[in-house]
Structure formats: structure tokens, C-alpha cells
Amino acid sequence: MNPLLDTSGLPRFSKIKLSQIESTIDALLDENRQQLKTLLQQLKENQQYSWQSLIEPLAEMDNRLSRAWSPVSHLNSVKNSDELRKAHDACLPKLSEYSTEQMQNEDLYQAYLKLQQSPEFESYTRGQKKTIENALLKFKLNGVALDEKQKAEFKSIKQKLSGLKSKYEQNLLDATEAWMIQIEDKSILGGLPDYALAMAKQAAKNKKMKGWLFTLEMPSYISVMTYADDRELRRDMYTAYSTRASDQGPNKGEYDNSQIMEDILSSRQQMAEIIGFNNYAELSIADKMAETTDEVLGFLNALVEKSLPVAKKEFKELQQFAKDTDGLDDFSAWDVAYYSEKLKQQNYGLSEEELKPYFPADKVINGLFEIVKRLYDINIQQCKGIDVWHPDVQFFEIRDKDNNLLGQFYLDLYAREKKRGGAWMDECIVRKKTADALQIPVAYLTCNLTPPVGKDPALLTHNEVTTLFHEFGHGLHHMLTQVDEYYVAGINGVEWDAVELPSQFMENWCWQKEGLDLISGHYQTGESLPDDLFEKLNKAKNFQSAMMMVRQLEFSLFDFRLHMEFSSKDFQGIQALLDEVRDQVAVIKPPAFNRFQHGFSHIFAGGYEAGYYSYKWAEVLSADAFSKFEQEGIFNRETGKNFLENILQKGGSEKAMDLFKKFMGRAPKVDALLKHSGLAYD
């Protein structure tokens, strides 16, 4: 049987034939179109509009398509190849066309309206009602009310966008892999810790090269920027990284995203205008928690006002430290991480290098599982013999106290070639319940952490530990859902500016003594993180937190204003707007050749367009939610049960604000975020 059509179990990655991908997706799309046509015809004839006669068949069609496409899309991100990329990209416009076609189908729209207007609607579950309400909004945002010419134009733009976003991501992946630096003179590598040298030595050996090899993969890049004494090496690495996929730097023009960004923004603006919005930012927030563009800008600018004065002080201290230490008068962007690490060591006696031995990956993972067991009364066990795409990938299942299977997940931790950068959680299988069966949710959890070197286990930085916790929070949201309705189960139907709440919430346990005791254990002695190191870590928690805050606000304001102002007569260009935002909020002014935007895949290819602010928006929610645990105990079972039942299990079946209020008993406040960030609050 074609493995992409087999929905009897988990994806059979090793059996997928690349030559089958496009024809399989074509066949599924044709089949779904015919089924939809038949379904709507039957409904018109018998006028029996119900959940069972409309939504369940639609969910089954979408589920079948998703189950086929999910492993293909995932493999394209974690095991990229020219042949896979070609097959993947050939399907994108077809999938986009099909999706838009559905959302512009007037007969389908009317069927949903009849459901909402039926006497049975009031007896529907909250999840069923939310499914119908979300769909009706989605119809409008996809132009169901347009005339045929406008519908065709809208569909064409969405297809074009799908290809552009994929090309942007591929350019970034290719550009990241196109640059590397081989060093044979060890004297150039002063300051680099042993693990970084061993990792670079191993990378060189893998390519049959002499000496040490450094790449733009995150573990390699970060180690050089943080520890390398050689300023020229840091500058070279920074230049290559900050100019990826652009018209600048060592590979300038080779994988240039400049025109692609313009085309993406232009297409989004056209989409917004066709369905009656002034700009894409207005369209973006139509289905989010935030109600107006002014509300978003006001929220971000209020945080700027609180954090910028503190950030300026922090940066001035850093510059002075570099001058006092090394007589540095021309402090530059490639000096920030290096001197920040040294200043942190001076102020707190703490180094990431000192922490790493206490965070072997297996210990961190087992500790993470113990934390969620204490919070939510769930058990996580590894399963062997599962078909995976790389030997490093592990597979786990989650069960409740009565041994009922709740969810499963793949864990792909380490950076490697042909794997997209960053960290993410994605859906493999979505929970869906019918009269006949329950489909268990399955997640992909993907990171690019420091891999094992030599005979030692993978040793993680504390920052990498928090990244793992973050993605696992997303995973729990997807896997612990008890919502039976496919379209609002897990993260489906959750407002985008609330989707980061469970992920950022999980990070808090990486800073608590009781949490750290569970996730730390020296890889040689097994000793938990000593009290003196914990004290240092805790004191250093808010080191440069205002600088980090304004950096995220810079990204958020740039993204939101870019999608608001792209078509205005005053718009001077992407770089000009970024420069303007930096003049307003940034304390670190990068060199003119910096092309951050060319690698900002979150907003150009990753679904965060005019929505990057959601990280800060959700951080307010997560910090506020965690304050309840701080008051009642970070492993308080009742508080954990409350969060599980009101946030994690409810998915998108209710509005995020309503669920938050059920958990906290009130609306969110910004106080906790400012307190956690070490910023004064009046």
C-alpha cells in the first residue's frame, strides 16, 4: 500500500517514495473535490444539515489529506534533498489552490450558515459551536463574498505566496549551508571551550578536512560569537550569518531573498485589499485576540517605554566593560555576545561553559518528563522500533494515571546538515473522535541543539534547555487536548497571539530550584546543579533582560509596521523601515551590511506575519499564569490540574481570553512579566 495513504498507524517514513508524492497528493485532491461535490449535492437534496452530515465528512477528508502531506512537509524540513524539494514544491500551489477553493465555495459557506441557524445549534458542544464560528470567519477572510473574477485573483495570489514562502525558506537553508570556515592554526581558536573545539574537529573529520570546521549552524555559530578571543574570526562569522540569503556578505546575491520579500509583502497587501482591509496587519488580527492595530502598537510601545531606558544603561555598561578590559573604542555587533559572556562571568561568576556538564540531554529529558508528571499526573515512556527519519530521532508516548494513551511524539534534538534551523513543534496527527474511533494526537518536536561529541553525551547550554522546554509546551498543548472536534483540537483554532502561552509557560521550570534539581545531573558524577551555581544562575537571570526585551520589541514593531505601512505613500523600503524602528528602540546598532530581514523566516515563511508581537503578548499571559504557581507552589497538583483542564485540554474550543480568565479568575496583567524581566513596575 502507498505509505502516504495508510492511516492505520504512524507515518512510514522509510517507505515513502519521492516519485509517488506529487501523484498521491493529486489523487487525494481530486478525490476530495469529488466527495465535496457529492456531499453538497446530497445536502441540497435532503436538506438534512447536521454535524454528522456536514462537519464529520469534511474533517475526514481534511484529515486524510493532512496525514499524507504532514510527513512530506516534515521531511522537507529535517532531511532536505533536491528531489524531495522538487516534489514538495510541486505540491504547494495545488494545496493552496484547494484550500482557497474550499473557503470560497459559496455552497459550502451556505451549508455552514444553515448549521449555525439550525435549532440544533444551541445543543452543540462548545467545540462544535467554535468550529462553525471559526469556519464562517475563515470563509470571509478568504473572500467567499467576492465575485468570480476577484475569487480567481485571490486564489492566484495565495498560490503565488505559497511558492514564495517556500523559496524564501530554501534560500535561507542553502545560504546557511553554503558558508563554512576551516581553520588549521589552533592559535586562532583561543577562548573556545573544549566542547566547541571537539565539535569543530568532528565537523572537519566528517568532511575529510584537516583542523577545525565552523559553520553557520546555531551550536557552531553561537560558540564562536560567545567565546572566540579572535575578533576577526567573530567578525567573519557575524558577517556571514547576518548576510545570509542577501545582496551582502561573502555569498552576496547567490541565494538573495530581496525580491522575494518584496513579492511576499506585495501579495499579502493585494490579498488584504481584495477582501476589504486597508493593509495586511488588519487582516492578520481579524482572528486574533488583539482587536485593533492600535492596540497592538500601543502594547508594544508601552513595553518599549518601560524597557528602553534600562536597556540603554545595560548597553552602556557593556561598552564600558569592553573598553576597560581590552581598550575597545569601536565596539561592534560581533563583540556583543563575547563581552556579555565575560561581563556575566565578572558580575556573577557564571559561565555557560560551567553549566553545560550539568545538563546532559538524557537527564534533561527525563527531568522534563518528571516535571510534567508532577504537574499533570501523566507518564511518558520511550518506544523503540519506530520508523524514523534519522538515527538520532526518539519516539515517546504519553499516558494518564490509568494507562490510557493520550498522545505520542517524535523528538529530533540535534543540529545537522540538510535540516532547517531553529526549533519548532508541528502536528503529525490531530486528535479526532468519531462514533467509531478516537485518533490519538502525534507531534513532531524539533530542535537544533548541540549534538554529542566523541564519546561524551550531548551537553546542553541552559538556553538550549529552555528551548526544549518551550517546544515541549507547544507539544503538550497539541497532545493533551481532550477536544474531540478535529478543527479545534490541540493548537487548532487557538488565536495566534495566544498560541505561545503554553510554550513560554513551560520555560519557567528551568529557573526554579525544584525544577533544576530534576533536570540537572553532572554527566560524570550525576550531581545535581550545586546551590552556588543555582544562586549564580538565578542572580544572572535578568542579566541584560532589558536589552533582550527591546530586541524582541524591535522584531515585533518591524514586523507589524511592515505589514501596516508597506503600501503607504511614505514607505521608503524594508531596510529603511527597519532602520527607523532600530532608531526608536534598538540599543545595538548593527553595521550597514546587516541583512537581518533576509533571514527573518518567522514572518516571511513561518506563519508569524504581522503576528510576531504574539511572543510578547503571550509572554504577558504566561508570566501571569505562572505567578499563580509561584503563590500556590510550582508543583501544586491542584494548580496544575487547573491549568491542564482550562488551558491545555481545551485547545481552540473556546476563546483564549475566556480560558485564561477561567484559570486565573481575572483578566491578564502585565505586572508579572515586568517583574520576571527585572524591570521596575509602578
Same domain, 264 and 310: yes
Side chain identity at residue 635, one-letter code = F
The radius of gyration computed from the CA coordinates of the chain, to the nearest angstrom, equals 25
Model confidence at 251: pLDDT above 70:
yes
307-355 residue pLDDT tens: 999 999 999 999 999 999 999 999 999 999 999 999 999 999 998 889 9
Of 471, 500, 531, which marks where a domain is finished? Answer: 531
**Domain annotation covers residue 143:** yes
Structural domain contains residue 299: yes
Find residue 427's DSSP bridge partners.
443
Task: Over range 576-599, report the average pLDDT.
Answer: 97
User: Dihedral, CA atoms, 140, 141, 147, 148, nearest 10 degrees?
Assistant: -120
The residues pairing with 438 across neighbouring beta strands, listed in sequence order, are 433
Do 569 and 596 fall into the same domain? yes
For the record, the C-alpha cell of 338 comes out as: 563575547
Residues 127 and 25 in one domain: yes
Helix axes 614-632, 545-565, angle to 10 degrees: 140
Q: What is the mean pLDDT of residues 13-30?
A: 98
DSSP assignment, residue 655?
A: -
Percent of the chain clearing pLDDT 70 (strictly above): 100
Q: Cα separation of 248 and 240, whole Å?
A: 9
pLDDT digits (tens, 9 = 90+) for 467-494: 999 999 999 999 999 999 999 999 999 9
Which residues, at least 6 apart from 298, have a Cβ–Cβ distance to it below 8 Å?
none
Per-residue pLDDT at 651: 97
* Mutual angle of helices 656-664 and 614-632, in 10-degree steps: 20
For residues 238-248, average pLDDT: 98
Dihedral angle sign, alpha carbons of residues 41, 43, 44, 46: positive
Q: List the domain range (segments joined by +) for residue 585.
A: 260-350+545-608
114/220 same-domain check: no
Look at residue 352 in the predicted model and tell me its pLDDT.
83
Q: Is the pLDDT of residue 56 over 50?
A: yes
Average pLDDT over residues 593-620: 97
Domain boundary (499, 531, 563) is at 531
Asked if residue 679 is part of any domain, the answer here is: no
Instruction: Check residue 680 and give its pLDDT.
Output: 57
- 658 is a domain residue: no
* Structure confidence at residue 435 (pLDDT): 85
Beta-carbon contacts of residue 302 (< 8 Å; ≥ 6 apart): 670
As a whole number, mean pLDDT of residues 161-184 equals 97
Q: What is the pLDDT of residues 446-456, one digit of tens each?
A: 999 999 999 99
For residue 678, is it within any domain?
no
For residue 620, the surrounding DSSP H or E stretch is helix 614-632
pLDDT in tens, 185-203: 999 999 999 999 999 999 9
What's the number of domains the chain is made of?
Answer: 4
Please say if the pLDDT value at position 76 is more than 50. yes
Claim to verify: residue 304 and residue 206 sit in the same structural domain: no
- The answer on 206 and 169 residing in a single domain is no
Phi, psi (degrees; rounded to nearest 5) at 493:
80, -5
Catalytic residue among 471, 500, 507, 619: 471
The lowest-confidence range among 92-101, 285-294, 395-404, 670-679 is 670-679
Using CA atoms, how far residue 371 sits from 364, 374, 518, 533, in Å, is 10, 5, 7, 21
Q: Are residues 500 and 552 in the same domain?
A: no
Please count the other Cβ atoms lying within 10 Å of the Cβ belonging to residue 8.
6
List of residues 6+ apart from 403 with CB closer than 8 A: none
Residue 84, phi then psi, degrees to nearest 5: -65, -45
pLDDT greater at residue 353 or residue 433: 433
The 10s digit of each residue's pLDDT in 369-427 is 999 999 999 999 999 999 999 999 999 999 999 999 999 999 999 999 999 999 999 99
Asked if the structure places residue 537 within a domain, the reply is: no
pTM of the model: 0.96
* Cβ atoms within 10 Å, residue 633: 13
Q: Is position 24 within any domain?
A: yes
**Residues 132 and 208 occupy one common structural domain:** no
Looking at residue 353, what is its pLDDT? 85
Residues 154 and 193 in one domain: no
> What CA–CA distance (Å, rounded) separates 516 from 509?
7
Q: Per residue in 514-551, pLDDT tens?
A: 999 999 999 999 999 999 999 999 999 999 999 999 99
Place of cell 470563509: 139
CATH code, domain with 156: 1.10.1370.40
Annotated catalytic residue 354: no
**Distance, CA of 526 to CA of 305 (rounded, Å):** 45
Q: What is the pLDDT of residues 597-606, one digit of tens each?
A: 999 999 999 9
Percent of the chain with pLDDT over 90: 97
Do the Cβ atoms of 578 and 525 come closer than 8 Å? no
628 assigned to some structural domain: no
Q: Does the pLDDT value for residue 682 go beyond 50?
A: no
DSSP letter assigned to residue 360: B
Which residue, 127, 150, 174, sits at the end of a domain? 174
Provide the mean pLDDT of the chain: 96
The C-alpha cell that represents 396 in the structure block? 515517546
Task: Indicate if 372 and 275 belong to the same structural domain.
Answer: no
Same domain, 48 and 70: yes
Strand-pair category, 212-215 with 438-439: unpaired
Measure the CA–CA gap between 234 and 136, rounded to whole angstroms.
Answer: 52
User: Residue 308, CB half-sphere, CA atoms under 13 Å: how many?
Assistant: 15
φ and ψ of 213, to 5 deg: -120, 125
Let me know whether 437 and 567 are in one domain: no
